[in-house]
C-alpha cells in the first residue's frame, strides 16, 4: 500500500491531440479516489499513464515516494482491472489469478494458498478450474478483480470495471468493491463515467473534462459546491439547470434577471455578485430545488414554462420545461400531480437554491446552506 | 529515468526481430543484391580467371537469346490462359459449394486435395495420364467426348499441345486454393445485401453481378495476383514433364535460368535473367495492386 | 441464402459429385495403379480395369523399397520440413510481434524492409544463393535446405497482421501483472496466436515438402535428397515401371494427406485467411 502522487502529468498524442493537460493529484495511502467524466475526457488515459501503458509527455508519477514514470509497467507495483477484463483466454481461472504471482516467482504452494484466499473472498472458489469463456459477465468481473487483489499492490487501478455488467449486477458489485476496499485497505483509483458509481464509491472524486481536472472533492461538496458550470451540469441527474442571467446594480445591491424573470439576489450572495454589474453570469438551480405552484413569500425566482416532456421514475418525475425566453429547465417533482403535456407550469426557486457562476464559468456564490453543510463536515 | 521502460521495450523488440531480419538479409536481400551485382560481370562457374565488369552485355545477351525470349512469351501466354480459366473454375466451384449444403466439407476437401500434393508428384502423375496412344486416359477421354473423332497424340512431345497440357495440370493442382479463398469471400458477403437486392427486384443474375462479384473484389484480386506470380515462377512441371521441350515450346524464365546457371554454368548470364524475371514479377505485382486499389477506390 | 427446394439441392449434389469424381479420377488411378502389376498399369489405365483391378498386391511397394533408399528420402524430407517449420515459427512469430506491437526506433524501417522483400520470389535469388551456399561449403547438406527458409517475409507479415488484430488489453494486463515485454509475448500473446501459428506451420510445411527447384540445385547425391527430387529421378530410372512410380508417389503423398485430413481446418482456414488479408 502506498500513496500516489501526480505532478504536472500531461499527455499529448503524436497526432497533436492533448489527452491530458498538466495535472496534479494526490491519492493518500488507503484512499478510494474516483476519476469521473464523460467519455473522451482523458480519465482512461490518466489511468494508463499511471499503469505505464502510455508514456507521459511531461510531469512525474510517484508511488510511495518512488518515482515510477519511466519504469516499465511490471516495475510499478500497480494492479489494474480492465474494462473488458482482459482475462487470459488460454488459462484457467486459477491460473489467471495466479499469473501476477507467477510473474513474481512466488512459490507454487504460496501461490495456491493466495489464490484460494482471494477466490474465497470473491466467492468464486467453484470456478477455479474453468476457462474465462465458460464464465458469465459477472463471474469474469470477479476473476478480473481477483487477479488484481491477489498480490496486494501499491495501487489498484480500475478502468470502468462495472460498465459491461447489467444494471442490477452493477449495483451489487458496487457494494462489494466498497467492502473489498475497506477489507484490503488498498489505495484505489477508479475510473467511471457513471456518477452514481462515483458518488457511492469515492471518498473523493476528480472530475475531468477534455483532459482537464475540473474539481477534486468529496461527493457532498461536488454536489453542493460544484467548482464550475461543467461540474454543475455533469453531476446530478439531471444536472443543474444553467441559465444566463444579466446582472445590474440596483438601489439595494445587485439585481438580476434570468429567463425573462427577475431574480431576488439573497443578501449573503450580493457581495459576490456586486463586481459583475452589467455582465452576464450563469444562474444555476438544481432540478430538485425547483417547485411547482403558486410561489410563497420565499420565492427568489419565478418562471413559467410549457411542459415539453415528462420522465416518470415511479417515486417521482422529471418535467422538462421550456420557458417563454426559450430556456430549457428540468424540474424534479413528486410523482403526483402529473402535468399534462403542453401544460404551462409555474416554477419557482427558493433563495437557498441559487448558484452563480462567473463569465469564466467558475463558481461565484453558492447557497448559504451549501456552505454550512460543508463547514459542518 | 524516463527512458528505462522504452529502453527495455526496444531491447526486447530488437532481440525478437533480429534473427528473422538477419535471416532475410542473409538469404534474400544479400543474394538478390548479389544477383544484381553478378549480372554486370562475366562470371562463369569453374572459370579460372576472375570475373570482369561487362556492363549491360549480359542483359543484351539474355534478351537476344531466342530461348529466353520464348520463355518469357511462354510465361505470358501461360498466365493469360491459366489465370482467367483457373479463376473462373474456382469461382464456379465456390458458388456451387456456397450456402447450405450437406456434405460440403467433403466436397471442399475433394477439390482442395491436390493443393497439398507436391508439384513434382502431380507432374509425374500427369505424365502418365498424358500417355500417348489410345490407352492414355486423356486421349481416351477426349476421344469419348468427341465421339471418336479425336486422334490420339503425344501431348508432351507435340509443340502445339505441350504448353496447354502443362496449363491443364497447373489448373488442376491450383484451383482448390483459389476456391477456398473465394468461398471464404462469399461467406463474408452479408446475407442482408442479397436480401435487400432481392427485395429491390433483382434476379439471380443481377444479384450475382451487383452483389456477389463486387463483394469478391478483394479475394479475386488477391488470387489473380498470386496465380499470375505463380505462372511466372513456373518450373517444376516443366522440368519433369518436358524439360522445356519440344524445341523450347514449354520453356519458362525460371527453367532457362536453371539451365543457364546450373547446366551451363553461366552464372552472370543467369543473374541477368534473374533480374529481368524479378522485374517482370515486380511489374505484375505493382500493376495488379494498383488496379485493385483503383477499383476499391471506385466502390 | 436459401436456394430453391429439394430438387435444386439434388441437382447441386449431382453436379458436385460428378465434378469431384472427374477431379479425383487421377488420384484414384494413382492409388489403384500402385497396387497393380507393373505391366498392366499403362495398358489398362483408361479401361474400367484402371479403377477395378483383377488382383491387388503390395509388390510395387516392396519393389520401390528394394530399388531405392526410399526411407532415407522420406527421413530427409521430414527432417527438412519439420526443422524449417520449427525454426520458422521460432524466428518469424517474435519478429511479427515486435513489428506489430513494440516501440523501437528501427521499427518502421524494419517493416519497410520486410514488405519490400515480400515481392522477391525465391526463384529470383536461387542462382546467387547457390553461389553463396557453395562458398559456405553447404552443398549437399540439410543446412542449405533448412536455414535459408527459416526467416520468411511472408510469415513475418502473417504474424504482423495477426498481432495487429489481437486485442491489446491482454498483453497490457500481462504487463501490469508483472511480465516484461518478452514474457508478455511468450506467455500471453503467443498462446493466443494459435491460428497464425497453425497457418504459418502448414504453409511452410507444404512449401518445403514439395520443394523441387532448390534441392535439385543444391543436392547432387542421395544423402540429403528430399522426396520430390528423388521421385523425379526415380521416374526416369530404368526400367520404366509405372506401378513402382505410382507406389513411390502414394508413399510420398500419404503423410501430407494424413496431416491434411487431421488438420483440414488449419489448411483451409489458413489459406482463406491469407486470402482475406491480401
Test A51 with C172 for CB contact under 8 angstroms: yes
Grid cell of C106 as nine digits:
528501427
> Residue B1 and residue A52: Cβ atoms within 8 Å?
no
**Chains linked to A by 3 or more Cβ pairs within 8 Å:** B, C
Say if residue A337 is preceded by a cis peptide, omega within 30 of 0: yes
Domain with CATH 2.40.50.140 in chain A: 237-375
| C-interface mutation test, from B68, B75, B94, B116, most C Cβ less than 10 A away | B116
- Map grid coordinates 443543474 to a residue: A240
The DSSP 8-state label assigned to residue A228 in this structure reads B
Write the CA distances from C103 to B7, B24, C106, C176, C259, integer angstroms: 9, 21, 9, 17, 38
Q: Indicate the angle between helix axes C107-117 and C153-165, nearest 10 degrees.
A: 130
Q: Which of residues 7-26 of B touch A (CB under 8 A)?
A: 8-9
CA dist A79 and A146 (Å) reads 10
Residue A377 pLDDT: 42
A69·B6 Cβ contact <8 A: no
CA of C239, closest CA in chain A: separation in Å? 56
Grid coordinates 453481378 are at which residue? Answer: B209
Q: How far is C219 from chain B (nearest CA, A)?
A: 12
**In this complex, which chains have at least 3 CB pairs below 8 Å with chain B?**
A, C
pLDDT recorded at residue B295: 52
- Cβ-Cβ contacts under 8 Å, B1 against chain A: 67, 69-70
Measured distance CA(C232)–CA(B122) in Å, rounded: 11
H-helix or E-strand spanning residue A59: strand A58-63
Exposure of B75 in the CB half-sphere (CA atoms within 13 A): 25
**What pLDDT, on a 0 to 100 scale, did the predictor assign at position B204?**
81
Is B108 among the domain residues? yes
Separation in Å, CA of B8 to nearest CA in chain A: 8
User: Is there a domain that residue B49 lies in?
Assistant: no
Query: What pLDDT does residue B150 have?
Result: 83
C-alpha separations of B8 from A69, A72, A99, B14, C103 in Å: 14, 8, 21, 10, 10
**C70/C233 Cα distance (integer angstroms):** 12
Domain A4-230 has CATH 3.40.50.300: yes
Residue of C nearest to B10 (CA): C104
Q: State the nearest Cα–Cα gap between A70 and chain B, in angstroms.
A: 4
User: Is the pLDDT assigned to residue B145 strictly greater than 60?
Assistant: yes
In the structure grid, which three cell numbers stand for residue B213, read together?
462479384
As a whole number of Å, the end-to-end CA separation of chain B is: 51
| Alpha carbon distances (Å) from A359 to A138, A247, A273, B123 | 46, 11, 11, 85
**Residues of C whose CB is below 8 A from B265:** none
Question: What pLDDT sits at residue A376?
Answer: 44
Residue B264, C-beta contacts closer than 8 angstroms, at least 6 positions apart: none
Predicted confidence (pLDDT) per residue in A2-29, tens digit: 899 999 999 998 888 888 999 999 999 9
* CA distance between the termini of chain A: 27
C-alpha A73/C-alpha C101 separation (Å) is 15
Q: What value of ipTM does the predicted structure carry? A: 0.90
- A49 vs C contacts (CB less than 8 Å): none
B50 assigned to some structural domain: no
In the prediction, which pLDDT does B1 show?
44
Quick one: what percent of chain B has pLDDT higher than 70?
96
Q: Determine the distance in angstroms separating the CA of B36 from the nearest CA of chain C, rounded to an integer.
A: 9
Using the Cα atoms of residue B151, residue B156, residue B162 and residue B167 in order, give the sign of their dihedral: positive
Q: What is the CA radius of gyration of chain B?
A: 24
Q: Of A260, A350, A353, whose CA–CA distance to A305 is shortest?
A: A260
Residue C10 CA to residue B101 CA, distance in Å, equals 10
Bridge partners of residue A189, in order along the sequence? A33, A157
Query: What is the signed CA dihedral for A53, A57, A62, A63, rounded to 10 degrees?
Result: -10
Q: Give the pLDDT band (50/70/90) at residue A372.
A: low
pLDDT at A371: 61
How close does chain C come to B160, measured CA to CA in Å? 23
**Dist. CA A213–CA C187, nearest whole Å:** 38
Which residues in chain A are classed under CATH 3.40.50.300?
Answer: 4-230
- pLDDT for position C91: 97
Q: Note whether B137 contacts C231, CB cutoff 8 Å.
A: no
Whether residue B113 lies inside any domain: the answer is yes
Pairwise pLDDT comparison (B81 vs B105), residue with the higher score: B81
Residues of chain C positioned with their CB less than 8 A from the CB of A100: 177-178
The pLDDT, as a whole number, for residue B255 is 95
Residue B284 contacts C, CB cutoff 8 Å: no
Cα B173 from Cα B180, distance rounded (Å): 13
More confident residue, B102 or C124: C124
d(C-alpha B188, C-alpha B182), whole Å: 10
Please report which confidence band the pLDDT of residue B113 belongs to, taking 50, 70 and 90 as the band edges. Answer: very high
CB contact set of B217 (below 8 Å; sequence gap of 6+): B292, B295, B296, B299
Asked if the peptide bond before residue C239 counts as cis, ω within 30 degrees of 0, the response is yes
Interval A61-73: pLDDT, tens: 999 999 998 899 9
- Chain A residue numbers with beta carbons less than 8 Å from the beta carbon of C180 are 72, 74
pLDDT above 90: residue B241: yes
Lowest average pLDDT, out of A166-175, B57-66, C95-104, C148-157, goes to A166-175
* CATH number, domain containing residue B273: 1.10.3720.10
Cell of A239: 444536472
- Which residues lie across from A248 on neighbouring strands? A255
Distance CA B7, CA B169 (A): 54
> What is residue C277's predicted lDDT score, i.e. its pLDDT?
58
**Closest residue in chain C to residue A99, using alpha carbons only:** C177
State pLDDT tens for residues A221-262. 999 999 999 999 999 889 999 999 999 988 888 889 998 889
Which spans in A52-128 are helix H?
Answer: 93-103, 108-122
C-beta of residue A156 within 8 angstroms of C-beta of residue A3? no
Q: Which residues contact B124 (CB under 8 A, 6 or more apart)?
A: B240, C231, C232, C235, C245, C249
Q: Give the C-alpha separation, A100 to A95, whole Å.
A: 9
Domain count, chain B: 1
Give the per-residue pLDDT at A79: 93
Pairwise CA distance, residues B157 & C233, whole Å: 20
Please report the pLDDT score of residue A297 as a whole number: 73
Query: Does B262 reside within a domain?
Result: yes
Of B93, B99, B124, the CB nearest to C1: B99
Across the interface, do A88 and C183 touch by the CB < 8 Å criterion? Answer: no
CATH superfamily of A237-375: Nucleic acid-binding proteins (2.40.50.140)
Ramachandran sector of residue A257 (left: φ over 0; alpha: ψ -120 to 50; beta: rest): beta
pLDDT for residue B297: 40
Q: What is the pLDDT along chain C (278 residues), one digit of tens a residue?
A: 444 567 778 888 888 999 999 899 999 989 998 998 887 777 777 777 777 887 888 888 998 898 989 999 999 999 999 999 999 999 999 999 999 999 899 999 999 999 999 889 999 999 899 988 988 999 899 999 999 999 999 999 999 999 998 888 999 999 999 999 999 999 999 999 988 999 899 989 999 999 999 999 999 888 899 999 999 999 988 888 888 999 999 999 999 999 888 888 888 877 777 766 54
Between CA B280 and CA B288 the distance in angstroms is: 12
Domains of chain C: 6-64 (no CATH), 69-237 (1.10.3720.10)
CA atoms within 13 A on the CB side of C8: 8
Backbone angles phi, psi at A62, to 5 degrees: -125, 135
Contact B136 C20 (CB under 8 A): no
Q: Residue B139 pLDDT > 90, yes or no?
A: no
Contact check, Cβ <8 Å, B278/C120 = yes
Cβ neighbors of C18 (< 8 A, separation 6 or more) are: none
Q: How far apart are CA B155 and CA C118, in angstroms?
A: 36
| Sheet (strand A204-209) strand order | A78-81, A155-159, A187-192, A32-36, A204-209, A212-217
Q: Once rounded to an integer, what is the mean pLDDT over residues A299-311?
A: 90
Residues C173, A73: C-beta atoms closer than 8 Å: no
Q: Give pLDDT tens digits for A312-322.
A: 888 899 999 99
pLDDT at B34: 92
Our measurement of the distance from residue B136's CA atom to the centroid of its chain's CA atoms, rounded to an integer in Å, reads 28
Q: Is the dihedral of CA B104, B106, B110, B115 positive or negative?
A: positive
pLDDT at B3: 60
Q: Taking CB atoms and an 8 Å limit, are B257 and C127 in contact across chains? A: yes
Cis peptide bond N-terminal to A283, omega within 30: no
- Report helix, strand or coil for B89: helix
pLDDT digits (tens, 9 = 90+) for A279-298: 999 999 999 999 888 877 77
Residue at grid coordinates 514514470:
A69
Amino acid C1: pLDDT: 43
> With an 8 Å Cβ cutoff, is A339 touching chain C?
no
**Helix, strand, coil content of chain C in percent (nearest 5):** 75, 0, 25
* Chain C residue numbers touching A90 (CB-CB < 8 A): 191-192
Q: How high is the pLDDT of residue A97?
A: 95
CB A124 within 8 A of CB A143: yes
Chain C residue numbers with beta carbons less than 8 Å from the beta carbon of B27 are 125, 129, 147-149, 151
DSSP C32-87: HHTTS-HHHHHHHTTSGGGTS-S---SHHHHHHHHHS-HHHHHHHHHHHHHHHHHH
Expressed as residue numbers, the domain containing B216 is: 56-298
Amino acid at each position: 500500500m502506498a500513496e500516489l502522487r501526480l505532478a504536472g502529468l500531461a499527455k499529448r498524442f503524436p497526432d497533436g491531440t492533448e489527452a491530458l493537460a498538466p495535472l496534479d493529484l494526490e491519492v493518500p495511502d488507503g484512499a478510494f479516489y474516483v476519476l469521473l467524466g464523460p467519455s473522451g475526457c482523458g480519465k482512461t488515459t490518466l489511468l494508463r499513464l499511471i499503469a505505464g501503458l502510455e508514456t507521459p509527455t511531461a510531469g512525474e508519477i510517484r508511488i510511495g515516494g518512488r518515482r515510477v514514470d519511466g519504469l516499465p509497467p511490471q516495475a510499478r507495483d500497480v494492479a489494474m482491472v480492465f474494462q473488458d477484463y482482459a482475462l487470459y483466454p488460454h488459462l484457467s481461472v486459477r491460473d489467471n489469478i495466479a499469473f501476477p504471482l507467477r510473474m513474481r516467482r512466488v512459490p507454487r504452494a504460496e501461490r495456491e494458498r493466495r489464490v484460494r484466499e482471494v477466490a474465497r473472498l470473491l466467492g468464486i472458489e467453484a470456478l477455479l478450474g474453468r476457462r474465462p469463456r465458460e464464465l458469465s459477465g459477472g463471474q469474469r468481473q470477479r476473476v478480473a478483480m481477483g487477479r488484481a487483489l491477489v498480490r496486494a499492490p501499491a495501487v489498484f487501478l480500475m478502468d470502468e470495471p462495472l460498465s459491461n455488467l447489467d444494471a442490477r449486477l452493477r449495483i451489487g458489485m458496487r457494494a462489494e468493491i466498497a467492502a473489498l476496499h475497506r477489507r484490503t485497505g488498498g489505495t484505489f483509483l477508479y475510473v467511471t463515467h457513471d456518477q452514481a458509481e462515483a458518488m457511492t464509491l469515492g471518498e473523493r472524486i476528480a472530475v475531468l473534462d477534455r483532459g482537464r481536472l475540473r474539481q477534486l472533492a468529496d461527493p457532498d461538496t461536488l454536489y453542493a459546491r460544484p467548482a464550475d458550470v461543467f461540474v454543475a451540469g455533469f453531476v446530478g441527474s439531471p444536472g443543474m439547470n444553467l441559465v444566463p442571467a444579466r446582472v445590474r446594480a440596483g438601489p439595494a445591491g445587485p439585481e438580476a434577471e434570468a429567463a425573462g424573470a427577475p431574480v431576488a439576489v439573497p443578501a449573503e450572495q450580493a457581495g459576490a455578485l456586486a463586481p459583475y454589474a452589467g455582465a452576464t453570469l450563469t444562474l444555476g438551480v438544481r432540478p430538485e430545488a425547483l417547485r411547482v405552484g403558486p410561489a410563497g413569500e420565499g420565492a427568489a425566482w419565478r418562471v413559467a414554462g410549457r411542459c415539453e416532456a415528462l420522465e416518470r421514475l415511479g417515486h417521482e418525475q422529471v418535467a422538462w420545461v421550456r420557458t417563454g425566453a426559450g430556456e430549457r429547465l428540468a424540474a424534479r417533482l413528486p410523482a403526483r400531480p402529473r402535468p399534462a403535456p403542453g401544460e404551462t407550469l409555474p416554477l419557482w426557486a427558493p433563495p437557498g437554491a441559487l448558484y452563480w457562476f462567473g463569465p469564466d464559468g467558475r463558481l461565484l456564490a453558492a447557497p448559504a446552506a451549501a456552505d454550512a453543510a460543508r463547514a459542518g463536515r | 529515468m524516463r527512458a528505462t521502460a522504452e529502453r527495455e521495450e526496444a531491447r526486447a523488440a530488437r532481440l525478437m526481430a533480429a534473427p528473422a531480419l538477419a535471416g532475410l538479409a542473409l538469404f534474400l536481400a544479400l543474394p538478390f543484391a548479389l544477383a544484381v551485382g553478378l549480372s554486370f560481370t562475366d562470371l562463369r562457374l569453374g572459370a579460372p580467371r576472375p570475373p570482369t565488369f561487362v556492363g549491360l552485355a549480359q542483359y543484351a545477351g539474355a534478351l537476344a537469346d531466342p530461348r529466353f525470349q520464348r520463355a518469357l512469351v511462354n510465361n505470358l501466354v501461360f498466365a493469360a490462359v491459366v489465370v482467367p480459366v483457373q479463376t473462373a473454375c474456382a469461382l464456379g466451384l465456390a458458388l456451387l459449394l456456397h450456402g447450405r449444403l450437406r456434405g460440403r466439407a467433403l466436397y471442399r476437401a475433394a477439390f482442395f486435395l491436390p493443393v497439398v500434393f507436391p508439384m513434382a508428384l502431380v507432374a509425374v502423375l500427369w505424365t502418365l495420364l498424358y500417355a500417348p496412344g489410345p490407352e492414355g486416359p486423356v486421349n481416351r477421354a477426349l476421344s469419348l467426348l468427341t465421339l471418336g473423332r479425336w486422334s490420339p497424340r503425344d501431348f508432351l512431345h507435340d509443340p502445339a499441345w505441350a504448353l496447354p497440357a502443362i496449363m491443364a495440370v497447373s489448373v488442376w493442382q491450383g484451383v482448390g486454393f483459389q476456391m477456398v479463398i473465394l468461398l471464404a469471400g462469399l461467406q463474408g458477403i452479408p446475407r442482408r445485401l442479397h436480401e435487400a437486392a432481392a427485395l429491390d427486384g433483382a434476379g439471380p443474375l443481377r444479384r450475382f453481378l451487383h452483389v456477389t462479384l463486387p463483394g469478391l473484389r478483394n479475394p479475386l484480386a488477391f488470387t489473380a495476383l498470386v496465380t499470375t506470380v505463380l505462372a511466372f515462377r513456373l518450373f517444376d512441371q516443366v522440368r519433369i514433364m518436358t524439360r522445356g521441350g519440344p524445341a523450347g515450346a514449354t520453356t519458362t524464365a525460371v527453367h532457362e535460368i536453371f539451365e543457364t546457371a546450373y547446366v551451363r554454368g553461366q552464372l552472370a548470364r543467369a543473374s541477368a535473367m534473374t533480374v529481368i524475371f524479378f522485374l517482370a514479377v515486380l511489374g505484375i505485382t505493382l500493376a495488379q495492386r494498383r488496379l485493385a486499389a483503383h477499383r476499391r477506390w471506385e466502390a | 441464402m436459401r436456394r430453391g427446394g429439394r430438387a435444386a439441392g439434388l441437382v447441386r449434389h449431382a453436379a458436385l459429385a460428378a465434378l469431384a469424381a472427374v477431379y479425383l479420377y487421377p488420384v484414384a488411378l494413382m492409388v489403384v495403379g500402385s497396387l497393380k502389376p507393373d505391366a498392366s498399369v499403362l495398358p489398362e489405365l483408361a479401361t474400367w480395369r484402371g479403377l477395378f483391378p483383377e488382383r491387388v498386391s503390395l509388390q510395387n511397394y516392396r519393389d520401390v523399397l528394394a530399388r531405392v533408399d526410399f526411407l532415407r528420402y522420406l527421413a530427409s524430407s521430414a527432417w527438412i520440413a519439420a526443422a524449417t517449420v520449427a525454426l520458422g515459427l521460432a524466428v518469424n512469430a517474435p519478429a511479427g510481434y515486435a513489428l506489430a506491437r513494440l516501440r523501437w526506433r528501427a521499427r518502421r524501417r524494419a517493416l519497410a524492409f520486410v514488405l519490400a522483400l515480400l515481392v522477391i520470389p525465391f526463384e529470383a535469388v536461387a542462382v546467387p544463393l547457390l553461389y553463396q551456399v557453395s562458398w559456405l561449403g553447404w552443398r549437399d547438406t540439410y543446412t542449405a535446405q533448412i536455414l535459408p527458409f527459416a526467416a520468411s517475409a511472408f510469415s513475418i507479415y502473417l504474424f504482423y497482421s495477426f498481432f495487429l488484430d489481437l486485442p491489446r488489453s491482454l498483453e497490457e494486463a500481462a504487463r501490469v501483472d508483472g511480465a516484461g515485454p518478452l514474457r508478455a509475448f511468450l506467455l500471453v500473446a503467443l498462446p493466443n496466436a494459435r491460428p497464425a501459428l497453425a497457418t504459418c506451420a502448414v504453409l511452410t510445411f507444404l512449401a518445403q515438402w514439395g520443394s523441387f527447384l532448390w534441392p535439385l540445385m543444391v543436392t547432387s547425391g542421395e544423402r540429403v535428397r528430399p522426396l520430390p527430387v528423388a521421385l523425379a529421378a526415380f521416374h526416369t530410372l530404368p526400367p520404366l515401371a509405372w506401378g513402382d512410380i505410382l507406389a513411390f508417389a502414394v508413399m510420398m503423398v500419404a503423410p501430407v494427406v494424413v496431416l491434411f485430413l487431421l488438420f483440414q481446418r488449419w489448411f483451409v482456414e489458413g489459406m482463406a485467411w491469407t486470402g482475406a488479408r491480401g
